[in-house]
């Protein structure tokens, strides 16, 4: 039996998971999904910023479009810190395509239009 705190939303449910990956203590189905993922292949959404050439901003905030395997987080940061983008940029524009062949893109999270 493992005890976890769900990080899916701010409610922070206290989850219990048995050896067969049965989850209790979750308020919603996302909690069960989180617990199973956490005990098999933990993932995290990564957010950071990249440099941008722009008249109005120094940094462009970005995120992984889907959660990345936890062990890739620091390696992904190295790639993110190599990037420089040019305005204009819209939310969802791809900053790094398919990072480490995960099928997951790093995308812009802010409109920087000039």
Partner 1 sequence: MINRDLVIVGGGSAGMSAALEAYSLGVKDILILEKNDYLGGILNQCIHNGFGLQEFKEELTGPEFMTRFSKAVNEKGIEYRLNTNVINISKDKVVSYSNSEEGFVEIKAKAIILTTGCYERNSGAIQIPGDRPSGVYTAGQAQLYLNIYGQLVGKRVFILGSGDIGLIMARRMTLEGAKVLGVAELNSYSAGLNRNIVQCLQDFDIPLYLSHTVKEIVGPKGHIEKIVLAKVDDHFNFIPGSEIEFEVDALLLSVGLVPNVDLISRLGIPFSKTRGAVVTEHMETEIEGLFTSGNVLHVHDLVDYVVSEAREAAKGAYLYLNNKLSHKGHMYKVSPKDGVNYVVPQKIYIDDAEDKLIFKFRVAHPFKDINLVISEGDRVIKKIYKPAIIPSEMEIVKLDKSLFNKENENIFVYVEERK
- Where does this chain touch partner 1 (CB under 8 A) — which range of 16-24, 51-59, 98-106? 51-59
Instruction: Determine, following the binding rule CB under 8 A, whether residue 16 of this chain makes contact with partner 1.
Output: no
DSSP letter, residue 67: P
Q: What are phi and psi of 14, to 5 degrees?
A: -90, 110
**What's the min distance (Å) between Cβ of 17 and partner 1?**
14
Between 75 and 97, CB nearer to partner 1: 75
- Tokens 């109005």, located at residue: 56
Closest distance between partner 1 and the C-beta of residue 16, in Å?
13
Q: Are 26 and 35 in contact (CB under 8 A)?
A: yes
String of DSSP letters for 95-113: EESSGGGSS--EEE-S-B-
- Residue 55 DSSP code: S
Build a one-symbol-per-residue string for 69-88: x at contacts with partner 1 by CB under 8 A, - elsewhere: -x--xx--x-----------
Q: Is the peptide bond before 67 cis (omega within 30 degrees of 0)?
A: no
Our finding on whether 6 is near partner 1 (CB under 8 A) is yes
Which chain residues interact with partner 1 by CB under 8 A? Answer: 4-10, 12, 14, 44-49, 51, 57-59, 61, 63, 70, 73-74, 77, 91, 109-111
């Amino acid at each position: 039996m493992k005890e976890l705190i769900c990080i899916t939303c701010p409610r922070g449910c206290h989850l219990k998971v048995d050896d067969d990956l049965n989850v209790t203590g979750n308020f919603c189905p996302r909690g069960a999904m989180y617990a199973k993922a956490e005990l098999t292949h933990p993932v995290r959404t990564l957010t950071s910023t990249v440099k941008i050439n722009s008249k109005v901003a120094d940094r462009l905030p970005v995120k992984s479009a889907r959660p990345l395997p936890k062990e890739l987080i620091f390696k992904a940061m190295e790639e993110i810190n190599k990037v420089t983008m040019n305005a204009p940029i819209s939310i969802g524009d791809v900053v790094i395509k398919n990072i480490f062949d995960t099928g997951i893109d790093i995308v812009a999270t802010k409109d920087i239009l000039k």
